[in-house]
Amino acid sequence: MKPDCHDYFIKDGRHLGLYEEMYLICPDPWRIEELGPRLDMRAALLLLNGREKSVRRFLDIGAGLGLFTSLLTQCLWRSNPEARGLVTDIAPSAVARAQQRLADPRLEFAALDIRTLADKPRFPPENFDLLVLAQVLWGLLEDLPRTLAALADLLPAGGLMLISQHFFPPGRQAYGAETVAGPEELISFLKPAGLEILETIECNRAVNHHWAALAHKKAL
């Protein structure tokens, strides 16, 4: 039987969070290598249009195997070839494979559980111009308010956060629906962290709803 990534991620309504084991046993857990760049990935990056030049340093959170990161860097480097980034994931195996895909002196790589930033700051305040959270919501849900607040501290006023996330149709989601059932609930978590939505874009709402948003940190 083919290994099922849900045995390590979310199963029977519980977040297991065994990410390193998942990547070791399921080399392509999200079918990233099989499917390649998807429409929703490219659509999310449209939200950066015209804002790329303001990004000097970015943090990609939960980058997995780095496919979305590769599209992101292409987008950023067209306008600002000097932009630098830190590419992270909670699973060291994923980080190693992303580094093979993306090897470039402008990028750093680190295994990092971003949820720990709320208790143990790792970066100076206002250290990044752009934070990227692509398909990581369900892994952060258990401590979402504190995690978002810690991430917002890494942005200066006007700094950007790009969120790309799939949501499930009603009745199909067994984990997290009581907390975040869709974009509206997620937006309600952004506001207390000082983050304000600038633009959104949606794909395939009827089947596997993909929603992407660009937010910025409001000035105090």
| Structural domain includes residue 144 | yes
| Structural domain includes residue 118 | yes
Contacts 24+ apart (CB under 8 A), 108-114: 108/84, 110/86, 112/88, 114/61, 114/62, 114/88, 114/90, 114/140, 114/147, 114/151
| Structural domain includes residue 44 | yes
| Domain residue limits at 70 | 37-217
> What is the rounded distance in angstroms from the CA atom of residue 94 to the CA atom of residue 178?
30
- The pLDDT value recorded for residue 170 is 73
| Structural domain includes residue 13 | no
| Structural domain includes residue 155 | yes
- Bridge-based pairing state of the strands 195-203 and 209-217: antiparallel
> What is the rounded distance in angstroms from the CA atom of residue 77 to the CA atom of residue 207?
33
Tally of domains in the chain = 1
> What is the rounded distance in angstroms from the CA atom of residue 88 to the CA atom of residue 174?
27
- Look at residue 21 and tell me whether its pLDDT is greater than 70: yes
Predicted TM-score (pTM) of this structure: 0.95
- Range with the poorest average pLDDT among 39-43, 52-56, 171-175, 176-180: 171-175
| Structural domain includes residue 8 | no
Question: Model confidence at 162, in pLDDT bands (50, 70, 90)?
Answer: very high
Residue range 194-198: average pLDDT? Answer: 98
For residue 116, give the CATH number of its domain.
3.40.50.150
